Amino acid sequence: MAITLAPDAKKQAIASIRRYFAESWDQDIGDLKADLLLDYFLREIGPAVYNRAIGDAQVYLRDRVADLEAACFEKEFGYWPPESHRLNG
């Protein structure tokens, strides 16, 4: 599965990469170089980040499902106190 960015996010990422190079390394790189670098990161590093995020989501959901019985349990036939269940007669 290819990891892609929405067009607006891609524009912001390219601008951020260009700014990083300008401020951190005093190098002005163009949109093409920044786009190629972004593509490299998305292809090479993106899957590791994506897989970690999916794993974190699975753990979170597994924990919520495991706690479902405790969180959603309602005692049955709780209207009458226990001693009132005796039938008089």
Distance of CA 41 to the CA centre of its chain: 19
Domain contains 50: yes
Q: How far apart are CA 76 and CA 71, in angstroms?
A: 15
Q: What is the DSSP string of the chain?
A: ------HHHHHHHHHHHHHHHHHHH-----HHHHHHHHHHHHHHTHHHHHHHHHHHHHHHHHHHHHTHHHHH---SS-SS-GGGGSPP-
For 25-49, what is each residue's pLDDT tens digit? 999 999 999 999 999 999 999 999 9
What is the count of structural domains for the chain?
A: 1
Domain contains 86: no
Higher pLDDT, 15 or 88: 15
State pTM to two decimals.
0.70
Domain contains 82: no
For 52-74, what is each residue's pLDDT tens digit? 999 999 999 998 888 887 778 88
Domain contains 13: yes
Percent of the chain beyond pLDDT 90?
A: 67
Is residue 85's pLDDT more than 70? no
The residue range of the domain holding 39 is 7-73
